Structure 1
Amino acid sequence: MNQRRDAILREMGLAPLWRLRGAGQVEVEPAPAEILPEPAPVVLESAPVRESAPRPARPDLRESLQQAAAPAVPAQAMQRSDTGEAVSGLDWDTLEARIRGCDACGLCKRRKQAVPGVGDRQADWLFVGEGPGAEEDERGEPFVGQAGRLLDAMLARIDLKRGEDVYIANAVKCRPPNNRTPEAAELAACFPYLQRQIALIRPRLIVALGRPAAQALLNEEVRIAASRGKLFSHNDIPVVVTYHPAYLLRNLQDKAKAWEDLCFARRTMVGLKAS
């Protein structure tokens, strides 16, 4: 393993732990996948005072976003739900009440409760995942299981914390049976809720965690490996695509790639705050 990759793995908490087993014998034991080291301080430029008017876009960044934006979506792409008109003017409390009582798709039949989202409602950062799992369905909050603990650790590595300038939501608000991937019709039915959340939050940057989240935001077929390191755009908001934490728990070798994606997102945010 070269020095650069070794350094990246140490950042993600995958460096080996050395333990003395006996006289003259040393054995290597891998660190638990869900544990990351305490975050090193990250120096970011101070964010300007939030104003009610739309933020001016940095000219060179806007140009790059327009070049990276998804091409026109073909006719057979995911069709949006008519729910959009019904929720387009809702405030936060009314929106969340509508989500909790939603029956726009079959996922409502087996849920214990819908999971609208959690965090700072004026956040600069919006993280969008796939859908609730079993623990999320029980507690009504996204990313509270093992994948949630990994997400919290990932946030800490770039000096972020759940609920502080961060909002976390999912592409679908109800748990798919057996945690399967949401179907296109389910993503379409739930998308107006996510779209309204984005309009209310007005984040500077969206991080799509996994393929379903990216496809819901970009409304096109997405391959994570091909999308990493690129800026996409959703309604002129930059979108960074990376792996879902649940995927990383099953594929430890890609944690280093996720760390690179977080660094890319952090650099993008610094540029947005400087504009």
Structure 2
Amino acid sequence: MLYDNDCRLCPLAGLRSHIVWGEGNQKAQLMLVGEAPGAKEDLCGRPFVGAAGKLLDEVLTGAGIERKDIYITSVVKCRPPKNRMPHRVEITACSPYLAEQLRRIRPRVVVCLGLLAARHFLGPEVKISEVRGRWFELDGIKILPTFHPAAIFRGRDKLPLLKQDMEKAAREIL
């Protein structure tokens, strides 16, 4: 892919341990797109390996999805300080990488995990509470926004909705 392991396109480059490009099946029908790496992801260079990743793995398993069959990435490839929401310059710098991942993998379905991913695909005014669980289409790809797994730690009432959305995605690709 077009990865640059010494990317310096934004200020996050000087703060990271690893660039977290993403991982998974290069021919996946399902791509999950998160917001940005957290501390554990930054340390090991892999997406969704911390607490949110463990929860995501449980939700995927419950929906009949094996992680080895999908591709997981994020809008921003380096960890923002203190896990803050990425800034526009960081999102813009990483956008070509995500576009290349989409072009190469060509998933049928993209699940947007969280607000940033939903806004990346659907527009800057999107509210996750209004689009969560609804299908959209963009350039022939079905887009399904849902809650980020980390949001479950702030409100367990969202867990059944995240599970429902992942099951919806699974039905679309299985």
Q: What band does the TM-score fall into relative to the shorter chain?
A: over 0.9
Structure 2 counterpart of 1:172: 76
SS at structure 1 position matched to 2:67: coil
Say whether residues 1:254 and 2:131 are aligned partners. Answer: no
Structure 1 counterpart of 2:22: 117
Contact 2:29–2:107 under 8 Å retained in 1? yes
Structure 1 counterpart of 2:11: 106
Q: Percent identity?
A: 42
Structure 1 runs (4+) deviating above 4 angstroms are: none
**Residue 241 of structure 1: how far off its partner (Å):** 0.3
**Residue 127 of structure 1: how far off its partner (Å):** 0.3
**Residue 249 of structure 1: how far off its partner (Å):** 1.9
Matches within 5 A, 1:219-234: 219-234=123-138
AA partner of residue 123 (structure 1) = A
- What is the alpha-carbon distance in structure 2 between the residues aligned to residue 236 and residue 256 of structure 1? 28
Number of matched pairs: 174
For structure 1, the residue ranges without an aligned partner over 5 or more in a row are 1-91, 271-275
Say whether residues 1:235 and 2:149 are aligned partners. Answer: no
Write the deviation string for residues 209-245 of structure 1: whole angstroms up to 9, x where unpaired. Answer: 0000111122332211100232112322000000001
- What is the alpha-carbon distance in structure 2 between the residues aligned to residue 177 and residue 199 of structure 1? 29
- What is the alpha-carbon distance in structure 1 between the residues aligned to residue 25 and residue 96 of structure 2? 20
Say whether residues 1:203 and 2:107 are aligned partners. Answer: yes
**Residue 258 of structure 1: how far off its partner (Å):** 1.2
SS at structure 2 position matched to 1:142: coil
For structure 2, the residue ranges without an aligned partner over 5 or more in a row are none
Larger Rg: 1
- What is the alpha-carbon distance in structure 2 between the residues aligned to residue 167 and residue 160 of structure 1? 11
TM-score (norm 2): 0.95
Q: What is the Cα-based RMSD across aligned positions, in Å?
A: 1.3
